[in-house]
Chain A
């Protein structure tokens, strides 16, 4: 009884949360600094945020050693978390680079924009390194609430309002499912620690057939699949992606999606390993559905931002294929693919940021007519990103899809891989159509001057380099992704 009340701060170990801690410190400092910056000037804030991300990257890279555990089993900064952290940092950094001029142009130079991105990234890091349901859940909430705000930040634009409100209401609803699932699993196993849940279920196989366990697994899956944007929980994605500020759409489609996937992987493989038969058959169906729904509806879109939203749904489907495989190649393929997707998608959105005009105009297919000749640099960059999104060899998209489908084939899911490849073929149509408009159509009218802002151009260049590096020499990064696995 006495030892119950002995309060020892055992295992606090700040090293295990160092990256997210640094991000939070920078975020809070930036909130204060914003007060002293002149109104309407967000450039200094963006620089401080970028410095914060670089400092964090140093700490995140140092996490690539022996795994650090801390906070009574709540976090583990292992290689799996560190690799994911790098993905989040890239997506946040590229987003911040392309944001500054965009905010000025649209007339919403809000300083709090950058701290919110930093907090969202910290939330993503807690999801990736969390080994307890509570930590993962709270990380998810920090991430989501920041995103609700960022999506609805352009208060004068109806679409942005719609995006913020829709995302908030549906997101809050899906969170309810997740919490209910966590509660049921807690009721079954008596713990919220993911590894302990796995151990308990292993030592009590009778509990696996328990309807409460299965219901818990299903509810947790609903919560995460919503955040990933997988069908049939994808309904929010197009409206939110179209309505949100373009850089935020770019951010949402890469970092947070990767965070949800990574946390989902950890919970399913570490905690609910015993139910693998159940969740693979569920995810098999959903992966096919997600790929197909995303690709088929994308064919109809005339607004490029909305088209990329649907394409992002189908890419979530490809990533789920790796989770169905649940083997070494498949899961490390997910990590690789999310990194590749970060580069190609954020790059495409950076082009959209530069090509758009005030009020989100000029993002339709017609608006891109003749774009390739009028703006050679942006045209070539956009083509590279589209080719990578299609999954053509020599680009990152091909390497990513290759590893994921290889994982599926190795695990014996030949049909799943076949359907995935067929889906990629379907996606050729709507990606190529953008290129056809860019190079083979006459512009209807002169759409004025496109200023090449430094920040967005830098993010485009980084993305191009990333796409080709991962596409031409994927071996090294893939090896790192394989080392990152925790199983």
Chain B
């Protein structure tokens, strides 16, 4: 049952992922992307990570999608802005090559057979958010802080490049 459900969601995820790149209108692409994000959120639920699922929907399907739609609106992208060029052919060739390589590597390669201290039972008893919090604020404290500098730099850059007069 679970496997069946997985394949169903996976099919929808891949199909809407394909729609993102094939849709002529950027708005349709964006909506297809929302669909992909929702499918990923369902995967998180299936992996017993409801917190991640909620964050996925709130941040990606919510905030980031609104941002993307805003950009599409401000740039006023029409259907005809994307023209077919010779790049398309090469893109398809290169893309399928990369995909074949990826398939080869994933089929031949095995992930490490490692089990960490955090099993499903531990997650059930301690709680998801607590575990995530511990990881972010203890083990990955420095990357977390660096991210804040990264965002600051990005904000400064956005202001400099976008404001009317220097």
Measured between alpha carbons, how far is A7 from B136 in the docked complex, in Å? 11
Interface SS, A side: helix
Q: Is the CB of A189 within 8 A of B142?
A: no
For A122, list chain B residues within 8 Å (CB). Answer: 149
Residue of A10, A123, A145, A184 near B154 (CB, 8 A) is A145
Q: Does A444 touch B at the CB level, under 8 Å?
A: no
Which chain B residues in 101-158 approach chain A with CB under 8 Å?
101-102, 104-106, 108-112, 114, 116-118, 122, 125-126, 130-131, 134, 137-143, 146-147, 149-150, 152-154, 156-157
For B126, list chain A residues within 8 Å (CB). Answer: 1, 4-5
Which chain A residues in 11-28 approach chain B with CB under 8 Å?
12, 17, 24, 28
CB distance from B95 to the nearest CB of A (A): 13
For A90, list chain B residues within 8 Å (CB). Answer: none
Measured between alpha carbons, how far is A203 from B139 in the docked complex, in Å? 24
Q: Does A75 touch B at the CB level, under 8 Å?
A: yes
Q: Is the CB of A9 within 8 A of B142?
A: no
Q: Is the CB of B109 within 8 A of A212?
A: yes
Identity of the chain A residue whose Cβ is nearest the Cβ of B127 in the assembled complex:
A5
Q: Is the CB of A148 within 8 A of B157?
A: yes
CB distance from A15 to the nearest CB of B (A): 13
Q: Is the CB of A138 within 8 A of B109?
A: no
Q: Is the CB of A190 within 8 A of B122?
A: no
Q: Does A451 touch B at the CB level, under 8 Å?
A: no
Q: Does A213 touch B at the CB level, under 8 Å?
A: yes
Identity of the chain B residue whose Cβ is nearest the Cβ of A9 in the assembled complex:
B138
For A31, list chain B residues within 8 Å (CB). Answer: 156
Q: Is the CB of A139 within 8 A of B146?
A: yes
Q: Is the CB of A138 within 8 A of B160?
A: no
Q: Is the CB of B118 within 8 A of A4?
A: yes
Which chain A residues in 30-67 approach chain B with CB under 8 Å?
31
Q: A4-B117, A110-B166, A212-B110 are in contact. Are A142 and B153 (CB under 8 A)?
A: yes
Q: Is the CB of A212 within 8 A of B161?
A: no
Stretch at the interface among A112-120, A281-289, A472-480: A112-120
Q: Is the CB of B116 within 8 A of A190?
A: yes
CB distance from A28 to the nearest CB of B (A): 7
Show 23 A/B contacts (Cβ-Cβ < 8 Å), sorted by A: A1-B122, A4-B134, A5-B130, A7-B138, A9-B138, A10-B138, A28-B152, A112-B159, A112-B160, A116-B156, A116-B157, A119-B152, A123-B149, A138-B150, A145-B153, A149-B156, A190-B116, A207-B112, A210-B108, A210-B109, A210-B110, A212-B105, A212-B109
Query: A-contacting residues of B (Cβ < 8 Å)?
Result: 101-102, 104-106, 108-112, 114, 116-118, 122, 125-126, 130-131, 134, 137-143, 146-147, 149-150, 152-154, 156-157, 159-161, 166
7 other A-B residue contacts (CB within 8 Å) besides A1-B125, A17-B142: A71-B141, A123-B149, A141-B150, A146-B153, A211-B104, A212-B105, A215-B102
